[in-house]
């Protein structure tokens, strides 16, 4: 059968073409005898180039989950004595996600050509960020790659757990709010117009709330397209503004000052930066480099500024703890932990333990807060529907009282 292939030659140049072979294994062996490092073999018409060009720079949904799975499995293979290339080959065959399979195959091919693992990962920054690659590089330099991947596996697993905790806690409130908006829209589009026709035929006086709802319903039915345009324009404009430095700063400032949620966000952000800093220092990454990497991985501009200040102070010979003093971004416990770690020479382990404690505390606090918010949203939904119902039936009650015994007319 005729197969298409993508490979690299001895000089690192990319080679694509077709060849006759019994199957994919036979094709790979034939190409290997020619001195080529094979990355893809497909049946003719499968479009190697098309598949390659379709590989995105970002892993898409579930990227962190696949990264955690890859890191954990790679650590297990390395710790059992498996070499890098065979371990990558095994993971390439096991990975179900097509994007990750292609990425792992390309990384394996680059390692086979003589690149280090961290250098091979540099071609896919969307899959392996700067911190990840730097820790792999430190593990390679120190001859402790399995130990470094153990730290990376723990780090990615914690990130995945925090992400799942936040999403799980917010999913139900968001669902309730969506249902409330959907119910209100349906009432305004289909229920209120029916009552409006009834009231017009009966020629009854409308209470202010009923008149407002009918007017809102008429506007929604007549100009829904204008509302949709305004909504889309607002979303696009807001997204564009948030991509600017001013927008990001305003967003992060507002988020940190939110009642109830602001302190939780601060605690989550603090846990993330001290965990990352602790893991890097445990991996024997130089302090300045660890701070630089932590700052590059920090999405909140205020915490990034805090890390930059720490870099400047450490460069001048000051301890890291000095940057965590007199700031409302981190709690005093963080400052005391860093200061104690500097005195004992155990900054990394102490930061990691503190991050574990903060994450556990944050999870409990977030779940408690959402358990209070959920019934409040249900009550607000009930009040909203009740308000619409009362506003629609109030004119009918007035009409009934007027036509009943003792009523006027």
Q: What is the mean pLDDT of each run of 10 residues along the chain (409 residues)?
A: 68 69 73 68 53 48 82 91 91 87 90 89 87 87 86 89 84 86 87 85 82 88 86 91 87 88 88 88 85 84 89 88 84 86 85 87 84 85 86 78 54
What pLDDT was estimated at residue 8?
A: 60
pLDDT number for residue 13? 56
Q: Given the structure tokens 């097509």, which residue do they identify?
A: 98
Cβ atoms < 10 Å from Cβ of 180? 17
Euclidean distance between CA atoms 388 and 369, whole angstroms: 29
Tokens of 322: 């000095």
Q: Please give the Cα distance from 164 to 65 (Å, whole number).
A: 10
Tokens coding 110: 């680059």
Phi, psi (5° rounding) for residue 259? -60, 135
Rounded to whole angstroms, how far apart are CA atoms 66 and 99?
Answer: 10
Whole-angstrom distance between the N-terminal and C-terminal Cα of the chain? Answer: 94
To 10 degrees, the CA torsion angle through 38, 39, 43, 47? -130
Q: Tokens 């010979």 sit at which residue?
A: 317
What secondary structure letter does DSSP report for 321? Answer: G
Q: Residue with structure tokens 């939780």?
A: 264
pLDDT value, residue 197: 86
- For residue 130, what pLDDT is reported? 84
Domains of the chain, by residue range, sit at 2-54, 65-87+106-157, 167-409
CB atoms under 10 Å from CB of 318, counted, come to: 12
What does the angle CA 121 – CA 127 – CA 130 come to, to the nearest 5 degrees? 65
Contact 366, 170 (CB under 8 A): no
Cα Rg, the chain, nearest whole Å: 30
Give yes or no for a contact between 343 and 316, defined as CB atoms under 8 angstroms apart. Answer: no
In degrees, rounded to 5, the angle at the alpha carbon of residue 165 between the alpha carbons of residues 65 and 323 is 95
Question: Assign residue 345 a region: left if phi > 0, alpha if psi is -120 to 50, beta otherwise?
Answer: left
Residue 47: per-residue pLDDT: 47
Sign of the C-alpha dihedral, residues 16, 21, 27, 29?
Answer: negative
pLDDT (0 to 100) of residue 162: 85
Handedness of CA 109, 115, 118, 119 (dihedral sign): negative
Nearest residue to 392 (alpha-carbon basis) of 142, 191, 241: 191
CA dihedral 196, 197, 202, 206 (to 10 degrees): 10
Amino acid 70: pLDDT? 92
Rounded to the nearest angstrom, the gap between the alpha carbon of residue 369 and the centroid of all alpha carbons in its chain is 21
pLDDT at 48: 45
| Contact of 59 with 99, CB cutoff 8 Å | yes
Contact (Cβ atoms closer than 8 angstroms) between residue 307 and residue 298: yes
Fold of 65-87+106-157: Receptor-associated Protein (1.20.81)
């Amino acid at each position: 059968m005729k197969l298409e292939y993508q490979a690299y030659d001895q000089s690192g140049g990319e080679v694509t073409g077709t060849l006759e072979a019994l199957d994919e294994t036979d094709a790979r062996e034939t190409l290997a005898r020619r001195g080529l490092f094979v990355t893809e073999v497909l049946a003719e018409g499968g479009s190697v180039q098309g598949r390659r060009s379709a590989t995105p720079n970002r892993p898409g949904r579930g990227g962190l989950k696949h990264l955690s799975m890859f890191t954990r499995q790679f650590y297990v293979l390395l710790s059992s004595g498996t070499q890098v290339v065979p371990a990558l080959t095994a993971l390439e065959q096991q990975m179900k996600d097509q994007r990750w399979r292609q990425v792992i195959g390309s990384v394996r091919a680059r390692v086979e050509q003589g690149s280090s693992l961290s250098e091979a990962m540099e071609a896919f920054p969307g899959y392996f960020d700067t911190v990840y690659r730097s820790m792999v590089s430190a593990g390679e330099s120190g001859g402790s790659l399995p130990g470094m991947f153990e730290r990376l596996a723990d780090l990615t697993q914690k990130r995945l757990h925090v992400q799942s905790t936040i999403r799980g806690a917010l999913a139900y409130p968001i669902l309730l709010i969506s249902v409330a908006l959907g119910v209100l829209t349906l009432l305004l589009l289909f229920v209120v117009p029916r009552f409006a026709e009834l009231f017009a035929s009966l020629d009854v006086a409308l209470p202010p709330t009923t008149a407002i709802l009918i007017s809102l319903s008429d506007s929604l039915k007549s100009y829904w397209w204008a509302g949709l345009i305004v909504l889309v324009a607002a979303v696009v404009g807001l997204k564009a503004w948030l991509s600017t430095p001013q927008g990001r700063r305003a967003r992060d400032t507002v988020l940190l000052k939110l009642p109830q949620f602001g302190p939780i966000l601060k605690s989550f952000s603090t846990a993330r930066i001290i965990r990352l800093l602790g893991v890097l220092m445990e991996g024997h990454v130089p302090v300045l480099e660890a701070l630089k990497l932590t700052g590059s991985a920090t999405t909140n501009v205020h915490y990034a500024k805090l890390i930059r200040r720490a870099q400047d102070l450490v460069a001048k010979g000051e301890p890291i703890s000095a940057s965590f003093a007199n700031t409302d971004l981190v709690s005093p416990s963080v400052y005391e932990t860093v200061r104690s770690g500097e005195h004992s020479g155990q900054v990394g382990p102490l930061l990691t333990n503190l991050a574990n404690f903060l994450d556990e505390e944050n999870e409990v606090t977030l779940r408690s807060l959402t358990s209070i918010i959920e019934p409040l949203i249900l009550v607000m939904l009930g009040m909203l529907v009740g308000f619409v119902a009362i506003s629609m039936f109030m004119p009918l009650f007035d009409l009934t009282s007027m036509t009943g015994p003792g009523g006027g007319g």
